Structure 1
Amino acid sequence: MILAAGLGCQRNCDVHTLLTLLDGALAEAGIERQRLSALASIDRKREEPGLIALAHLLQLPLLCFSAAQLASYEDRLSHKSAAAFAHTGCHGIAESAALALVEQLAGAPARLLISRRKNAKATFALACAG
């Protein structure tokens, strides 16, 4: 099963903040970190040090999508953020990035397995195919 973690974060969010959010959400759902296939975010976060460090730490690829690609998932989001839209042009980074990546990797419809979770600096969601 393909599991993709979608992540959004504030500028210069550190890897430990991201990892704590990811691990907490996975633990709550009873999913082992090793089951993750890849990480996803918006293209403007492609060079974000915390996301790059997280991908390296987890030994997973980080794939990024444009705001236009992510906006096509708007009707499937559990939460629509006006702040995210104002900054990026899409209403939710974590959920839409996770859905987009699963659909790209699986070539099949994706669904949210873990809807948006957040802390003060980041958001996380998990999607799977089927």
Structure 2
Amino acid sequence: MNETANRPILVIGLGCQRDCPASVLMGLIEVSLLEHRLSLSDITALASIDSKSNEPGLLEVAEQLRLPLGFFSAEELSGFEAQLSHRSQIVFDVTGCYGVAESAALAMASHLSKSPVSLLIPRRTSSRATFALAGHFLENP
């Protein structure tokens, strides 16, 4: 039996300003996970909005963590608006969706689990980045 079969699906959603260093993103990730007694080894994937698909800091974080990094369009992310803990008009004006980190985490977790997911850690911010965690805890057989 595959030992990962019963692991929860936990996805980190990230948003960031242009040219945000990987160190800023990693700091936000590490602090947020530590506060919730989670470790990097618990994480299944990373996600963001497609306009960040060439963002060096995001790509570096995914490489460092050896995790898949998925990108979603604003239209895809808007489908998760009802689940957001925070809606930012500023973010909407720039990206076309009301929240990148939360929406992206929800979108990727939903894609991977093929079942309903929820926001497990609402939006956390630093001066240059946002973090959220969404997922689906699989039931034990």
TM-score, with structure 1 as normaliser: 0.98
C-alpha deviation, 1:129, in angstroms: 1.3
2:134 is aligned to 127
Selected match of 1:93 from 100, 113, 128: 100
Aligned residues: 130
Distance 1:81 1:27 in 2: 26
Give the gaps of 5 or more residues in structure 2: 1-7
Larger relative helix fraction: 1
Q: Matches of 1:20 and 1:120 in 2, distance apart? A: 11
Name the CA distance, whole Å, in 1 between partners of 2:135 and 2:74.
21
Percent of aligned positions with the same letter in both sequences? Answer: 48
SS for the counterpart of 2:35 is helix
Q: Quick check: which has more Rg, 1 or 2?
A: 2
Provide the secondary structure at the position in 2 that maps to 1:52.
helix
Matched, 1:60 2:67: yes
In the alignment, the residues of structure 1 paired with residue 109 and residue 68 of structure 2 have an alpha-carbon distance, to the nearest angstrom, of 13
Displacement after TM superposition at 1:55 (Å): 0.1
- Cα shift readout 1:16-67 (whole Å, capped 9, x = no counterpart): 0000000000000000111100000000000000000000000001100000
Structure 2 length as normaliser, TM-score? 0.91
Which ranges of structure 1 fall in alignment gaps of 5 or more residues? none
RMSD: 0.6
